[in-house]
Chain A
Amino acid sequence: MGGAEVNKLQGAMWKERFLTGESERSSSRWLGLPERIDLYRIPWIRPLLYSRWPQFLARALTLAGFIFTITAGLLGSRVGSHNFAIIFVWIAWWTALKLAFIPLGGRSWCSVCPIPLPGEWLQQGGIFENSRGRFGLNLRWPKRLKGSWLQSGGFLLIGLFSAVTLTDARVTAWVLLGLFGLAIVLSLVVERRAFCSYICPIGGFTGIYAKTAPVEVRVIDTAICAAHREKTCYQSCPWGLYPLALRDSAQCGLCMECLRACPSDNIAVNLRPFGTDLAAERRGSRSPGRLDEAFLALVMLGSALAFSAVFTGPWGALKAAAFAIGSPAWLLYGLGFLILNLAVLPGAFATAVWAGQRWSGAKAQLRSAVAEQSQVLLPLGLFAWIAFTISFAFPKMNYVLSVISDPLGWGWNLLGTANTTWSPDVSGFSPGLQVALLLVGLAWSASVAKRLAMTNTGRALRQMLPGLAFCLAFSLAMLWLLVG
């Protein structure tokens, strides 16, 4: 079967399997593009995805960078702006993650992340493939701890200690070392990538927003998978996923192992329209959504608000409170942060969903309605984080040049850029850009809300209105914090 036939068959399969939302189909049609482009069928990309070498080299590079970052954090200057660990983790990498990796590649960072690497090597008893000499107990992850609850907890911890973690090189190094150790220990105790799936807060962050991204790994022909007894894709997936059962891109780490293991060449790496996973219908029924993901989405909103207030606001007392860990002021800050994330935002969103259900006469239970409608929060949250990053990181980009030349803050000047004071002057365009980004996020959320409501009830406007009021209130709060 030639490439064109495969693409044609794949297109037909997709149309049959996934009745995508109206706006998605129409936007593709307007642009005259196919609904999906399988990157794995493009001749020059295929070997790059199939071979383990490119990915291995990228991961080796990130592992080396990771070890250097920890070393710089432990041995270098404690002044954050003079230490490679702080600048590369919280300015360069954190910015790249939010501005490029997630919006364009979903969980693409996970495919090159160095943190689970040594644990995975030990777990599989080899660098490239499984061998007989495997280490570890290979226990199942407890059912009660499944989902993204622990990742939400991890993100809340980051928020509680953010003023210190993001500015003290030693603390950053110890946090990275702790994550590294935890990933190795968990690899030796539980099966597959339990750390990435259930613990890593960054995994939670990237995973939930990966639903908006234009990349996915999916099965081409479901019948081939159903007839395949060995399920080599499932056996080889480090994440423990069965590609045929993928509902969205939140869990898939884009490691490409399924694609390498499939004897029928039945896996596609698709370029797809943005936000395909949101409010998408599958086989005529809506994806039910999960309460843990709804909570994670709300924690992301709360954290975006708190980070914006602490790091870009003019309130010195708030910064001092967030920094003075253990002090009464910090306890007060922590209490406020937790109340915002555990009570105010979940309470307001649940109330909005409840009001929408009641007003529209929809029959769904509140739990499942909250879980389903939390998809509306994803574009809003992603664009809020991007807008925050513009004012958080861009004015500090000069530090990147500086620490490349003097990574430990020891007075070196390896590349002659240690004393760089030039900084991109973003003040002219960044406030306008932030407003535009927040508007795009809000508009995208409104479109997701509309798609959900139009298929759920005959009184779509009534169902949407309270939820969109919640989104509007969040957008106005971010506007005020960032450009007010």
Chain B
Amino acid sequence: MRESSSRWLRGWRWAALASLALLALFLPLPVNATTPVERTFHIQASQFAYTPAVLAVNPGDRVTIELLATDVVHGLSIDGYELEATADPGQTARLTFVADRQGSFRFRCTVTCGNLHPFMIGKLQVGQNALLWRGALLSALVVVAGLWGARK
């Protein structure tokens, strides 16, 4: 009797954890409803940094990036968006797109510009980074699951 109730309790706990994990995975995060706007960013590219390196926009915004290369030729492509621009030294290249994918995306230099070229990286933040929040929630749940069942 005692054994069956403890088994039931254990099963109930795991079911609760699994439900919380599913919630963390699929529950829609609160969204700040904003009207899409036009945003223009002037980015200076120099060995081996973009300034500014972090761009924050809202989903649906029409984004224009003006890329100015200050030393050597630099490029810019955004992970997840099939876009690319190349700027010669002292010149500005322009890139316009609608930020229709939500999340955090790295943008990278596309023209070999020196030793640290493969690591010349910036970040485009479109709305909330749901993956980060869900990852954090699931990490906390993993720890709770690890602690669960340990004697107090």
Contacts and interface: CB of A to CB of B under 8 A. Distances in A.
Interface of A: 78-82, 163-164, 167-168, 310-317, 319-320, 323, 391, 395-396, 399, 425, 427-428, 431-432, 435, 438-439, 442-443, 445-447, 449-450, 453-454, 458-462, 464-465, 468-469, 471-472, 475-476, 479-480, 483-484
Given A468-B147, A483-B104, A396 B118 contact: yes
B59 to A, nearest CB: 17
B152 to A, nearest CB: 5
A375 to B, nearest CB: 14
Nearest to A164: B115
Contact of B143 (A164, A311, A312, A468): A468
Contacts of B112: 79, 81-82
Contact of B121 (A313, A399, A427, A465): A313
A454 to B, nearest CB: 7
Contacts of B103: 431
A483 B136 CA distance: 11
Contacts of B1: none
Interface residues of B, number: 42
A439 B53 contact: no
Contact of A428 (B80, B115, B116, B142): B80
A468 B122 contact: no
Interface residues of chain A: helix, strand, loop or mixed (majority): helix
A168 B115 contact: yes
Contacts of A442: 139, 142-143
A480 B49 contact: no
Contact of A472 (B51, B119, B139): B139
Contact of A314 (B123, B139, B146): B123
A476 B146 contact: no
B132 A479 contact: yes
Contacts of A480: 132
Contacts, number: 135
Given A464-B147, A471-B143, A320 B135 contact: no
Contacts of B31: none
Contacts of B98: none
B131 interface: yes
Contacts of B129: 483-484
A425 B138 CA distance: 26
A438 B123 contact: no
Contacts of A465: 147
Nearest to A447: B146
Given A316-B50, A427-B105, A479-B135, A80 B121 contact: no
Interface in B100-132: 103-106, 108, 112, 114-123, 129, 131-132
Contacts of B50: 314, 316
23 contacts: A80-B118, A163-B116, A312-B121, A314-B121, A316-B48, A316-B51, A323-B48, A323-B116, A395-B108, A427-B79, A427-B105, A431-B104, A439-B142, A446-B145, A454-B150, A458-B151, A462-B152, A464-B147, A464-B150, A468-B143, A468-B146, A472-B139, A483-B131
A431 B51 CA distance: 24
A70 B115 CA distance: 18
